[in-house]
Amino acid sequence: MHGEYKVPGGKLVVVDLDVEGGALRNVRVAGDFFLEPDEAILAIDAALEGAPANTDTAGLTARIDAALPASTVMLGLTSEGVAVAVRRALAHATEWSDYDWQLIHEAPQSPALHMALDEVITAEVAAGRRPPTLRVWEWAAPAVIIGSFQSLRNEVDPAGAERHGITVVRRISGGGAMFVEPGNTITYSLSVPDSLVSGLSFADSYAYLDDWVLGALADMGIKAWYQPLNDIATDAGKIAGAAQKRVAGGQGAVLHHVTMSYDIDADKMLEVLRIGKEKLSDKGTRSAKKRVDPLRRQTGLAREAVIERMIDSFRNRHGLTEGKVTDEEMAKAEELVRTKFGTEEWTARVP
């Protein structure tokens, strides 16, 4: 069995192993990390040898930590990263390179249609009718997108939304509200087979699926990192938030979508969103305006240039071919707008 895992912000860990009699055998750990002293790699292999195959990530991590020499130094590597690679090997996880990735980047769409396209495209990936897909959104109207389980009245000031012509829609994933305006927001979705995140905890899958965009930001001179559970942050502040939804059927699939602030009208945002003191205290700031630091200021690049560089970065890492929403997919999405995402029943399902 073969498993790979790129430690977030670190290096690639590769594990090859067999399972015999319910235990790990012939374990070999490798990768492009740095590790001192040399014998530490043998200690890691020995710690995993004979471990019950059903040992969870925490248990495998503890075995490795207990076996490492006191003088061990790891760079780009963690004991947990090795353990995750083992779990991915046992789960027969797939890798980014196993797929032919497709890009969808089309004309602006309404907020409700974007919600529907996420559901339809991810369901098509789950059914095996479409390859794993990176979809970059273009917005036809300003909007507030609330999480699947958020209270509409607690999150949105209806008078502020009406005054500024803001459409309110509800997405299928959890998480918090997003304030978006055309030209000020960069949003993308990854619709991936469930096997790509096999062996990862729900939390670890966020970091794993965000890793490519951290590399893209680094290429633009921005030192960014994944901040659990679902934020991408820099020294200057949060720049993006992610959300996920698991979709059943066929091989199963995961929707992972991210909204990044290229620029932001903070005063307008505060007139539309009801951002409570509890949320601000959790983020370690007293001001909602300080929570988000736009990409325009950090990169000095036009929004279109940022998007182009992000797409190029993904293509260079994993390959990417041009695609489009099919007529059948669009018809399904438009029907979902009519019956679900465009209805008051769905938007106010948590009043």
Q: For 144-171, what is the mean pLDDT?
A: 97
Q: For 134-158, what is the mean pLDDT?
A: 97
pLDDT at position 290 is 56
State the burial class of residue 186 (Cβ atoms within 10 Å of its Cβ: 0-12, 13-18, 19+): buried
Mean pLDDT of the chain: 94
pLDDT at position 281 is 46
For the chain, the straight-line distance linking the first and the last C-alpha, in angstroms and rounded, comes to: 49
Which residue is it, tokens 């109207």? 141
Q: Is the pLDDT of residue 322 over 50?
A: yes
Which residue is it, tokens 């199963």? 252
Q: Is the pLDDT of residue 207 over 90?
A: yes
Q: Is the pLDDT of residue 16 over 60?
A: yes
Contact predicate 325/333, CB 8 Å:
yes
Question: Which residues fall within 8 angstroms of residue 30, CB to CB, at 6 or more apart?
Answer: 13, 14, 15, 16
Q: Is the pLDDT of residue 286 over 80?
A: no
Q: What is the DSSP letter of 7?
A: P
Q: Is the pLDDT of residue 285 over 70?
A: no
Q: For 204-225, what is the mean pLDDT?
A: 94
Q: Is the pLDDT of residue 212 over 60?
A: yes
- What 3 state SS string does 100-155 have? CCEEEECCCECHHHHHHHHHHHHHHHHCCCCCCEEEECCECCCEEEECCCCCHHHH
Reported as a pLDDT band with limits 50, 70 and 90, residue 9 is confident
Contact predicate 23/14, CB 8 Å:
no
pLDDT at position 8 is 87
Q: Is the pLDDT of residue 277 over 60?
A: no
pLDDT at position 316 is 97
Compare 283 and 50 and report the one with higher pLDDT: 50
pLDDT at position 53 is 98
Reported as a pLDDT band with limits 50, 70 and 90, residue 18 is very high
Digit-coded pLDDT (tens) for 60-118: 999 999 999 999 999 999 999 999 999 999 999 999 999 999 999 999 999 999 999 99
Q: For 189-202, what is the mean pLDDT?
A: 96
Proportion of the chain above pLDDT 90, given as a percent: 92
pLDDT at position 275 is 83
Q: Is the pLDDT of residue 251 over 80?
A: yes
Q: What is the DSSP letter of 288?
A: G
Q: Is the pLDDT of residue 279 over 80?
A: no
The token pair that represents 41 in the structure block: 């790699």
Compare 279 and 66 and report the one with higher pLDDT: 66
pLDDT at position 216 is 96
Q: Is the pLDDT of residue 331 over 60?
A: yes
pLDDT at position 288 is 53
